[in-house]
Amino acid sequence: MVNRTRWEFVAHRADRDNEWIAIEVMSLVSPAGESQNGNWHKLVDDVQRKLAGRLPAKYWLADLPKYAFDQSQRKTLVDCLKGTILDAAKTLAEGEQKDIGPTIAACFSHWPKDTSRQPTGFDPENLQLRYPPHPLLLLRGSGVLNSLGIGMYPITGYWAEPTLKTALIGLFKRKGTANAQLGLAKDYGAARTVLLLDERIDNDLGVTSDIIRSLDTSHLSNIDEVYLVSTFSGAHVVQVWPTG
């Protein structure tokens, strides 16, 4: 660390001890998605604390809906999850899962509907279609650790181009950017500087390259190469700037 600025990795060439490459890693994330994950994590942690020592094994929640609850609703949802999970856990064998969404919906009136499924009927009073509750899967893992965690985040599989552009521009223009970090590396003699973008969802490689190329060169002046690293749609590391 120099002047509170650093790069994540330094790679040395085996045949040239005096030549090194500075590698900076940054997460390409959607602020809204990160907020969703953070809110669900905190809520499930609260449920876990209420269930401490009362679960016979390790359990996971999956297929979470969009988090859209105020503080009062959140408290009710925590209590509903506590009781529902405790009851359902008694009947689940290792490796089994159960949809507890309908039970949660019966206890918690603000539980969302799953409008991607077939309607179950029509409500003549409100003149609206009736949809089933959003599913919520409870899975029992192996071992004897009595705990509760999140097995699958509520994520978006693809960002629209404007959202991706906003995320990329923020990443390159905000204070303490990769360009500044890697500029310091060049000052200290790095032969090459590389930025790795750790993507959390499956972005369009062509669109990502186009957006980076459209940035003012001042935001890329100290970066020799940019790569997109992903485990979606098959693990891959693809150079997105500069491109031929």
Residue where a domain terminates, one of 128, 150, 172: 150
Tokens 């604390």, residue located: 49
Q: What is the pLDDT of residue 226?
A: 94
Q: What is the mean pLDDT of each run of 10 residues along the chain (244 residues)?
A: 51 74 82 72 93 90 90 96 95 93 96 87 82 92 80 50 79 78 89 85 75 90 90 71 82
Tokens 């693990």, residue located: 235
C-alpha span between 84 and 104 (Å, rounded): 7
Name every residue whose Cβ is closer than 8 Å to that of residue 219 and which is 6 or more positions away in sequence.
172, 173, 177, 179
* Full-model pTM: 0.56
The domain of 21 spans 9-30+158-241
Residue 111: phi and psi, rounded to 5, are -65, 130
How many domains does the structure of the chain reveal? 2
Note whether 62 and 170 are same-domain residues.
Answer: no
C-alpha span between 42 and 25 (Å, rounded): 26
In a domain, 1, yes or no: no
